[in-house]
Amino acid sequence: MVSQNMLNNPNINIIAQMGNVSVLEFNQDMSVTPLTSKQEYYSAQMNVKKRQVMIQLNNDEYVLQSGAMQWISGNVNIKTGVKGAGDFLGKLVKAKVTKESAIKPVYSGAGTLVLEPTYRHILLTDVSSWGGQIVLDDGLFLACQNTLQQKVVARSNASSALLGKEGLFNLSLVGSGIAVLESIVPMAEIIEVTLDNDVMKIDGNMAIAWSGSLDFTVEKSTKSLIGSAASGEGFVNVYRGSGKIWLAPVMASDYYAGQQNTVENSDQQNTADTVSDAIDVVSSIVDIFS
């Protein structure tokens, strides 16, 4: 049972709900000092606010990103979800290539589960509305119902990773259930595009999620390299088939979300790191069994 002090707090609003998942938003960050009060005031005016996810477990299960839980109440059990040495090695490989945590704890039972506060925006979506499979951009996953299966999706060809700046692998959620995503872009700025046996071309890596049924490649913007260079567009990300795409056309550089380098530099490095990490993991596995 959640304390009514939390649900009836005038400084806390429930801004989104889906099933037994609620997104809480704090109107103001009141834990400030004279030195930080000005910054916090203007941050609140620009919608830079702390948000938390609250899940009311009702004899069901949720998988969380490692370290995401803040507190739990009630008869809630925690397990690692690791089924043996082979399963652990498989999860380790997935974590290396997708930049996700290797062990994602599973929470089950009846009670309240509250996640750590974040300044990012929380997006809730039902994976069944994506045709039963959604492919996520790196760092987007926060939590999901354990009815969803987590898979690693590899690019169909090297061009989509090297030229599309999207990495070689992505985390995919398959099945039916609620996915909780953590984004630097609010839902109000996301454009949802639905393709029906159609094609969409995007200049840049603005797609943060897409249906697993879509075929993703990278192609020249025109028929020739000279034409592509002359048009100023070069290569574009191409999605073919039937399904949905979430676009973040006004996504700023994620300076506050991860204190990363510019998008261009980090994308190039991430592709090289992904290949290197995958080689390292394979070498480690060989060493273990040699």
pLDDT tens across 202-239, in order? 988 889 999 999 998 888 776 554 444 444 457 888 99
User: What is the average pLDDT across 146-159?
Assistant: 79
For 222, other C-beta atoms within 10 Å of its C-beta total 15
Q: What are phi and psi of 81, to 5 degrees?
A: 80, 5
Q: Which of 249, 220, 251, 218 is nearest to 233 (CA)?
A: 220
Residue 213 identity? S
115, 70 contact by CB (below 8 A): yes
pLDDT-above-90 percentage for the chain? 51
Kindly report, residue by residue over 105-126, the tens digit of the pLDDT: 999 999 999 999 999 999 999 9
> Residue 191: its pLDDT value, please?
96
The answer on pLDDT for 162 being more than 90 is no
Q: What are phi and psi of 27, to 5 degrees?
A: -60, -40
Distance CA 204, CA 91 (A): 30
The answer on pLDDT for 160 being more than 60 is no
> Residue 163: its pLDDT value, please?
57
Kindly report, residue by residue over 131-150, the tens digit of the pLDDT: 999 999 988 999 999 999 99
Q: Which of 141, 106, 127, 121 is nearest to 16 (CA)?
A: 121
- Mean confidence (pLDDT) of the chain: 79
> Residue 228: its pLDDT value, please?
43
146, 63 contact by CB (below 8 A): yes
Class assignment of domain 4-289? alpha beta
Q: What is the pTM of this model?
A: 0.77
> Residue 237: its pLDDT value, please?
87
> Residue 168: its pLDDT value, please?
72
The answer on pLDDT for 84 being more than 60 is no
Q: What are phi and psi of 139, to 5 degrees?
A: 80, 5
User: Which residues, in sequence order, are CB contacts of 51 under 8 Å at separation 6+?
Assistant: 15, 23, 24, 25, 26, 117, 118, 119, 120, 121, 122
Kindly report, residue by residue over 238-286, the tens digit of the pLDDT: 999 999 999 998 875 444 444 444 333 444 444 445 445 544 544 544 4
The answer on pLDDT for 15 being more than 90 is yes
